[in-house]
Every structure is written in structure tokens, then in C-alpha cells.
Structure 1
Amino acid sequence: MNLLEAIILAVIEGVTEYLPVSSTGHMIIASSFMRIAADDFTKLFTIVIQLGAILSVVVLYWKRFFQSFDFYFKLLVAFVPAVVLGLLLNDVIDSLLESPITVAISLIIGGFTLLKVDDWFKANEEFDKENPTAHTEISYSTALKIGFFQCLAMVPGTSRSGASIVGGMTQKINRKTAAEFSFFLAVPTMFGATAKKGYDYYKAGFELSSNQINYLIIGNIIAFLVALIAIKSFVDYLSKKGFKMFGYYRIILGIALLVIHFFIYKLTI
């Protein structure tokens, strides 16, 4: 990986981490096109730069993070399913992370799901317009259910934010509230994933060069700045327009990837 490739991946991470389009899937696609996907440092880089995106959530919603201890316990409850299943399915997840075809298929399936989500949960939005304070708090049971939905994103291309937002909407939460809780849940989830990946990298005997350390620093800064803009834009758009645009985007991208892979340019891992 060179500096330009690191910058490209960091921008992709910042833009897509909190959108329901799968940041991991997009970085797998980009690194496959750049022929760097098989590099061990690239795999580490795509996980570690999520720390920058995490910081953007803390900065934008810092008051919520100092609201009450109850807030942290709910995040912990929602985080537990990902910890348990992540440890149990670690090898399976690693193999899926190396498959652009898995990403393409997941993008398409998720795309068709997003096309229908607004209709499925239309009553949530109508209820909240009439009762604006009805869903200002998320219960522990709801947090746990959202945590299980988040685990669907262990299949690359599914989208962590998309899965957890839809999970929240199944519990009669409106789009905005579900999206914000998804952002908060990203903090322990991505911190845990980063710590686990860093430990595995160290345990495997790899050492970081000075250039690689610089790439990680630059990547986190770029991911942070880009994510700041992406989060605010996404919440505003989602509240007004819903998911359909993201559904069409996922379907088009997934089909394009399959066509490219099988007929034009074989994506490699």
C-alpha cells in the first residue's frame, strides 16, 4: 500500500461507515481494484482507521456520552451479541472478508431490503409525528435486539449501520432515533474490532514500519474529517427521504461488481 491508496481507503471509510451501504464492503472492493486486498497491512488498515470514524461520533454527540451511566450499559448490552458471535465465528468472518463476490451478493440483497423498509415501518414515522417524545429512550431489551441485528453485518456487504438501524425500526423506533443509536453502538463495536485486529496482527509477528504508522495516522485523520460531514448529511437526508436511494445504489453497485468480475476484470483478493 502506498500513501495515495491509504488516502483513498480512508475517504471511503469516512463516507460509508455510517451509511447503510457497507464500509467494509466498499473497502474490500476498492482494495481489490487496487490489487492490495491480500496485503496483511491493508487488512489491518481498513479496521484501524475506523477509530477516526468513531471519534467523529463522540465529537458530534459528546453531550449524549456524558448523559448517564444508563446510556453506557445499554450500549454494552447491544454490544454483547457481536462479541460472542465474533469470537465464535472469527475464522468464518475472516474468510468472508476476502470475497468480493460475497460483498456483491450482500449489496444486492440488502438493497432490495432497503427499498421496502420505509413502507414496512411507515407507521413508526407517523406515530412519532403525533407523539414527538414517544421514542426518546431505548430500553435494554430493545438495545439487545438491535445488537443481534448488528451481527448480520459480519457478512461483508451487509452494512453494520444498515442492519442496526433496521433492527431499531423493527422495535417501533423512528429512522432518526434508530440511526443515532446505531452511531453510538459503533463506538464499542469498532473499538473492539480494532483491538482484536491489532492483537492478531501483533501475535502473528508483524511489525509496523514508520511509513505504515504514518499511513495509519493520516488514515484516521481523514476518516474522522470525512465522517463528520457524512453523519450530519445522512441523518438529515434519512429523516426526510428514507432509505430508497441507498437501496437503488446497493443494487446497481452489486450488479456492476458481478458483471465486472465475471466478464471484464476479475477481482482478486
Structure 2
Amino acid sequence: MNILDLLKSAFLGLVEGITEWLPISSTGHMILVDEFIKMDVPDEFWNMFLVVIQLGAILSVCVLYFHDLNPFSLGKGKDGRRATWSLWGKIILGCIPAAVIGLPLNDFMDEHFYNSYVVAAALIVYGIAFILIENWRAKRRAKQAAAPAKIHGAHFAKSVAQDAAADDTDFGAISSIDDISWKTALGIGCFQVLSLVPGTSRSGSTIIGGLLLGTTRSVAAKFTFYLAIPVMFGASLLKVVKFLLGGAAMGANEWGIMIVGLVVAFVVSLLAIRWLTGFVRRHDFKAFGWYRIILGVLVLAYFLAIGPALGLV
């Protein structure tokens, strides 16, 4: 078993655990990592590994939100169980658009869109989108706070604005997961289709969808975590099946790489999710937007400097 490959796998697990949940594109980071960290493994295994490693990340969601997602949790009465089953129905509904469109296009997307230029463009475009959306939301919030002045006078408006200041950093008509309607869940799922383009970020596209459809940042992030469960399990299963049907096999080194990557991705994801849920209660997503733009420019500059775009994994 190659110790150096295990260390590389641990680093990839670290990158995956952070970038899978923050709306900054795990693909954009992985292509840069791939340029500098090479493993002594077959290409077929490498392509499968970069998808299956996501299982470690998704297991962290199952652990952190086990009570919320388990309809049989102790303490949940009849209404609680019904609400949990309803939540699962909305999660499945939200995954349908990406499954219907993504499965038939999977090979096509791999062949035509997995390149550095597409990733760089997606990073920059959606980075700009985050900034514009947050500015738009802030203007709407300010307009809502100022509206009472027209009816009750400036003093009353000032009082309303002060009362709203506590939650002014994280606002939206939908402030609870339970308030997400079936229509909103489907709408967010439609935005998830955008993540088929590499560099978009699955979490980024669904969070943008949630914000545009009226959720708070906290609700958008949490529903994004939930949507990831069937999506990432399905993607991992598809890659494993294709890997095995291709006649490939894994030796001790490959098994070691896989286990280390999964474990590190799991542990780091626990920390990343907890950090993000706390961050969005007090801050907007514009910092991630600027980060995406900078990363996109760096990716584009790097590959323009070294020549033709290399194939992404």
C-alpha cells in the first residue's frame, strides 16, 4: 500500500469535505488539485473515486440531521412523523428534475463540458450571480422596512426597522424547512439542474434557487444539504456500477485510498456544515461570490498559460 497515495487521498477528502457544502464548486477545486497531485491509479478508478468520495460527505448530513430526517425518531408524535414523511416527499420531488435531465445527459456532459474553460466560466458567472442576488435581496429588505413610513410616519418605521434588525442578516418569507411548499421544493429542484454544468456547484445552484424563491439563507442551505442525500447516493451508485461493469477491479492500494478519502471527507464535512449553518445566520453569500470569481479567473489564467484545456475528472 502506497503511503504517499494515502496522504494524497486524505488531502482530497479535505478538499471534498469543504467544497461540497460551501457554494464554491468542488469541481473547480478538484481540477486544480488534480494538476498538482497525481495518484498511481488507473484512470477508471480515479474517475470513480472523485464521485464516490462524496459518500463520506453525505454521510455527515445523515449523522447531523438524523433526528430531523428520521420519521421514527423517539419523541416524534403522529404530526412529527407526518411532517418528516412530507419533507422526504419534497426532497424526492426536488431531485426529480436533475434525475430526469441529468441521467440521459451524463455521458454527454462528461464528454463536452468537463473542461477547464467551462468550469472557469461557471465559477465566474455564478459568483457574479451571488453578489447580484444578495444586493437585490438587501434592496427589497430596505424597501420593506421603509414602507411603514408612508402609512404610520417615520418614527413608526424606525421602530419597525429596529425590531427587524435582529434577523436582518438572514431574512426571507420562508424561514423554516416546514414552510417549504411542494411548489417551492420543485422550483429549487429545477435550479439544481444547473449544477449539471461543471463549476456551477450543486449547493450553489440550489441555494441561489432558494434565495430567489423566498427562503432565508439558513433554510436554503439546509434544504440543499437534504437534497444532496439522494442525488449524491445516486451519482455514486451510478459511477460504481459503470466502474464494475467495465471490468475494473480494486486492489489493496485502491481500497486504502477509497477508505481514507471517505473518512476524511466525512469528518471535514461535519465541521464544514456546522460552520456554514452558523455563518449564514450572520452573513450573506457575497463573500463566496467574490471567492468564486477570483478562483474562476485563476483557473482560466492557469490553463490559458499552460496551453489547451486538460480533461477534467
TM over 0.5: yes
1:207 to 249, 255, 273: 249
- Is 1:114 aligned to residue 154 of structure 2? no
- Corresponding residue of 1:248: 290
Structure with larger Rg: 2
**Is this contact kept in 2: 1:33–1:267, CA < 8 A?**
no
Whichever residue aligns with residue 23 of structure 1, its letter is S
Task: Tell me how far 1:2 sits from its aligned partner.
Answer: 2.2
The 2-side partners of 1:218 and 1:12 are apart by: 13
Cα RMSD (Å): 2.4
TM-score of the superposed pair, with normalisation by structure 2: 0.79
Q: How much does 1:32 deviate? A: 3.1
More displaced 10-residue stretch of structure 1: 170-179 or 35-44: 35-44
Q: How far does residue 94 in structure 1 lie from its aligned partner after superposition?
A: 1.2
CA 1:96 to 1:224, structure 2 compared with 1: closer, same or farther past 3 Å? farther
In 2, are the aligned partners of 1:28 and 1:97 still within 8 Å (CA)? no
What does residue 109 of structure 2 align with? 93
Give the total of aligned pairs. 269
Residue 31 of structure 2 is matched in structure 1 by 28
| Compared CA separation, residues 156 and 162, structure 1 to 2 (3 A) | same
Amino acid at match of 1:156: P
Secondary structure of 2:266 counterpart? helix
Deviation, 1:121, is: 2.5
CA contact (8 A) 1:51 1:194 kept: yes
Deviation track 1:195-221 (CA, whole Å, cap 9, x = no partner) reads: 011111111111111211111111110
String of CA shifts for 1:134-161, please: whole Å, max 9, x gaps.
5322111111111110110111110100
| Distance change (3 Å), C-alpha of 1:89 and 1:219 | same
What corresponds to 1:10 in structure 2? Answer: 13
**Bigger Cα displacement from structure 2, 244-253 vs 126-135:** 126-135
Q: Deviations over 1:86-110 (max 9, x none)?
A: 1121122212564122111111111
Mapped to 2, the partners of 1:107 and 1:28 lie a distance apart of 13
Q: Which amino acid aligns with 1:89?
A: L
Query: Which ranges of structure 2 fall in alignment gaps of 5 or more residues?
Result: 72-83, 146-163
Contact 2:173 2:216 (8 Å CA) reproduced:
no
Give yes or no for contact 1:124–1:169 (8 Å, CA) kept in 2: no
Contact 1:161 1:182 in 2 (8 A): yes
Q: For residue 55 of structure 2, what is the aligned residue in structure 1?
A: 51
How far 1:265 sits from its partner (Å)?
7.1
Distance 2:273 2:267 in 1: 10
Match of 1:162 among 189, 204, 207: 204
**Alpha-carbon separation, structure 1, partners of 2:196 and 2:86:** 27
> Between the two proteins, what is the percent identity of the paired residues?
39
